[in-house]
Structure 1
């Protein structure tokens, strides 16, 4: 004998109500439990001296440049010893990124450039032609070069290498001395073709 429809509907409603009550009690019990912070277990606290070793950003306007100085001649000797093996004697030979000369595949004053770019594609971009600030050159050399021993150069040596690289790009004379006063004054050719987020002073 079939049960009336209203009996079946009533039973379904009772079952739904009971299930809702069970779920509500379960959620309430979970919420009542104390919240504990998950421990990832990676890394370790750093001492102030360790933090200072990494907080070495040099700003485009020269802020945070350290004391010291270096000239083109000193930088040339350092470059041959520490940099030429990867970047070439004149900063254009590779195999690592080009440091001097123009951007692009062709170079009117450098007829062999297409052959070098085909062999070492990183040479298609030149630091001297593309980077908008000379201070960024100092920052990168001090932070990451030479590749086999980053942060091994003293501030004076970084100033000297920077002076030499700027001279390779014909941006400073061979008598130039770079320091925290003279370096920010160097105008890089990449500045006028770069969309900048950094505020410019008139």
Structure 2
């Protein structure tokens, strides 16, 4: 490096980086634009109002079978918990010293339960259940919390219509995220 001037060394280093980066893009597919299909496969969130609930339907009885095959080892036979948290019970405990926050006592929306199960369960194989299986097990959990009849068919409209006991137990926190004033134009600062 003794014979190189600082500027020449920097330019050489920059060129080497650019060539390596270009090679990596073509060799590994880095920096490619995601297709609509790729984006859609990741865009699986469901809002509380049920927007984006997928097509599908199942029964509470179907849900019991899915639960016994995929959920019971963590959440217990009667949804009482074990390795995983309890999914039923806890009514009237939220204002006590030891609240039991379950689907039936705490969760505000049935659609949120569907969304969570579809994304994250079963723990050892998330996103492995079909939409029908997720509707089924969601219905079974709601039934075990006395929120759906045993003979219910579960689909998007069913979940939107379920009035969860603690739906009104939440409030919107509209405080600002920071005390800094939001920059609305010419925000780039020179250092």
TM class by smaller structure: 0.5 to 0.7
In angstroms, what is the RMSD of aligned CA positions?
3.1
Q: For residue 9 of structure 2, what is the aligned residue in structure 1?
A: none
Q: For residue 94 of structure 1, what is the aligned residue in structure 2?
A: 82
Cα shift readout 1:168-199 (whole Å, capped 9, x = no counterpart): 100011011111111100001121212146xx
Q: In structure 1, how many angstroms separate the alpha carbons of the residues matched to 2:77 and 2:95?
A: 20
Does residue 135 in structure 1 map to residue 123 in structure 2?
no
User: Judging changes above 3 Å, is the alpha-carbon distance between structure 1 residues 105 and 191 closer, same or farther for their aligned structure 2 residues?
Assistant: closer
Q: In structure 2, how many angstroms separate the alpha carbons of the residues matched to 1:105 and 1:189?
A: 11
Q: Secondary structure at the match of 1:53?
A: helix
Task: Give the TM-score of the pair, scaled to structure 1.
Answer: 0.65
4+ residue runs of structure 1 moved beyond 4 angstroms?
Answer: 38-41, 103-107
User: Judging changes above 3 Å, is the alpha-carbon distance between structure 1 residues 150 and 168 closer, same or farther for their aligned structure 2 residues?
Assistant: same
Q: In structure 2, how many angstroms separate the alpha carbons of the residues matched to 1:78 and 1:44?
A: 40
Q: For residue 54 of structure 1, what is the aligned residue in structure 2?
A: 42
Q: In structure 2, how many angstroms separate the alpha carbons of the residues matched to 1:44 and 1:97?
A: 40
Q: For residue 3 of structure 1, what is the aligned residue in structure 2?
A: none
Task: Give the TM-score of the pair, scaled to structure 2.
Answer: 0.68
Shift of 1:44: 5.0
Does residue 180 in structure 1 map to residue 168 in structure 2?
no
Structure 2 unaligned residues grouped into runs of 5+: 1-13, 25-29, 174-191
Shift of 1:105: 8.9
Q: For residue 147 of structure 1, what is the aligned residue in structure 2?
A: 123
Aligned length: 149
